[in-house]
Structure 1
Amino acid sequence: MHRPPGPSCSPRRPLSRKSGDLAAAMERWTGVLHVPLSQGGPLFRVAASLILAPSKALAVPRANAILFTGDRVPSTGEPAIERLSDAAYLAKLLAGKLAGEANAWVVDAACFAGPFAVYRGLVPSVDTVGDPERYDPTGLPAAAGVASILAHCIREIQNKVTRGSLNDSAGNQEPTASLLPSSAPKTIILGFSKGGVVVNQLVAELSNWASKSAKGSVDISRQNPALLTGDLFVPATASDILSSISEFHYLDVGLNCAGAYTTDHAVIKGIANYVSQTSDTPRFVLHGTPRQWSDPNRPWILAEKNTMLRLLQDEANKCEGRLTLSEKKYFDGRPRSLLMHFEILEAMDIS
């Protein structure tokens, strides 16, 4: 495939869908924001669907589900692909798949090299077209970046509330005691296609952060610092992000090089060690279609997926069921197509 030159910036259980009726009944704020990681930096396009309190102010969620999207596709003339390429539509779709009292966030890359998503702000080791050379956890760039993106979004939305543009309400944005959860919101991480590189980076960072905690250099005693600081809507720091992650979902991920899945045994072992130190029960779900898992031109995708599953299973067997994993196949028996690659977003079962 021709590649254009460099980029230009243009236990805790998973949420059950059984309570989804509540989600359908709750009012939501849905919109699109453009926020930087730092002042003057390139802008991430973020679509959000957030629950509202009866007062029409933002409510404190029980979880924040964050979906990272992939490469752009040229105009295909296929309405389903066009629809499922739109972050605003995906935010509503994701919200509908979550249990009650959960917020949905959909993040597009801030930079693109032609059609290729380049998540360099979150995964510094990617090359000019966004392919990962490695997953280096030094400095926790993805976790810190996600915390920054969410904080910028919350501030913008709160400004809309103050201006009275959120359902014509300028009410107090401080959550009332009745809305406070018993613990900080969980974080659910999803990566679609190229967006899987952010998932892998966060897995590497969680493993590294947990390993340092075992040596006493960081604290994972789970004091819920977000609750202590009053920043209740989203995790406030890189450590808050990592300690709150309850699920990792790989949604038909694939690259034109190695690195679509985490295959480093040391990283997976670090996650298992983390489980042994905490009360957490992290969940990994690998979702796929023949488009990626049966591609004869990229056999490494299937090989990497199988390796990750095996490593996770080996470590899960040592964790007394507290590290869980599953594999979900979609559209088996259908010919491989770009359409099915996008349709997994509507078909995905994240319950």
Structure 2
Amino acid sequence: MNEAAKQKLDKLWARGRDFLGCEYAILGGAMSWVSERNLVSALSNAGGFGVIACGSMSPDLLSEEIAATKALTDKPFGVNLITMHPDLEKLIDVCKDHDVSHVVLAGGLPSGASIKQVKDFGAKVICFSPALVLAKRLIRNGADALVIEGAEAGGHIGPVVTSVLAQEILPEIKEVPIFVAGGIGRGEAMLSYLEMGAAGVQLGTRFVCATECIAHENFKKAFIRAGAKDAMTTLQIDPNFPVIPVRALNNKGTQEFMATQRRVIEKFNNGELEKHAAQLEIEHFWAGALRKAVIDGDVEYGSVMAGQSVGMVKKEQPVAEILEELVEQACEVLTTRQSA
């Protein structure tokens, strides 16, 4: 690897490296059932920044997961908490008890009180922003860094693609580090966002087929077989029941989600369910379907959440090798420019 190119790359993501406290300013996307102690510690040990996906964990389960991760790495890592979790305050207290250095508040716009609760025990707060106006509000409320994630990403997504979000937000926000996510599978793309002003990037799909990832063999094989066009978004069938789009590989589980929406809405129309309960039942579909695919290996009826960068996942590799590839690809571009 060209040393001058490596030094240039280090300069480009110096702000992100300093903020995270790691060698590469590459965040691991928090993927439920996937981003647990093994993958998180492997990412941090290899120079990236692993993030535990709390998802629907109870406070006790999260406490166990953090402790288990600390037993596998002495490097910094973060914890991703869903803002809609009914025990959010208790989960933040768990992070406090374990002296977690970085907390990611995701799955909705976090309250100022939640941000303050995290900052009060000394942790840095990372929030997701799908628009410039929300980015500014989050910074006013105390966010220490932002992730801007485009619609190419896997799992629950927003409506705007990464390239547009980057152009909208990166030139306007200088107060805090910004990490770009969604559709990033190679080092050249990573470099382009750093040169636009990003402090670092976040990747999820690229790490699913890491050797250290506990995802079922069938889940990994589905990723390796898939192309970008296979990662599709779900649709809502009734505007009275808004559904946050989910990007996943199209399978019979996708069709089952449509049937679930129809069944639940019919129960609501018949007076068997209140609207809030019906909405929750629709959203809860994904938690069970995702576990079915990731842990049990049912990639036919389970939810195989994947970003469009899945087409660039060609084989199972150790985390360290994936990170090295990304860095080498970025450095090759920089080296070519130097020799031109």
TM-score by length of 2: 0.30
Greater percentage in strand: 1
TM-score by length of 1: 0.29
Greater percentage in helix: 2
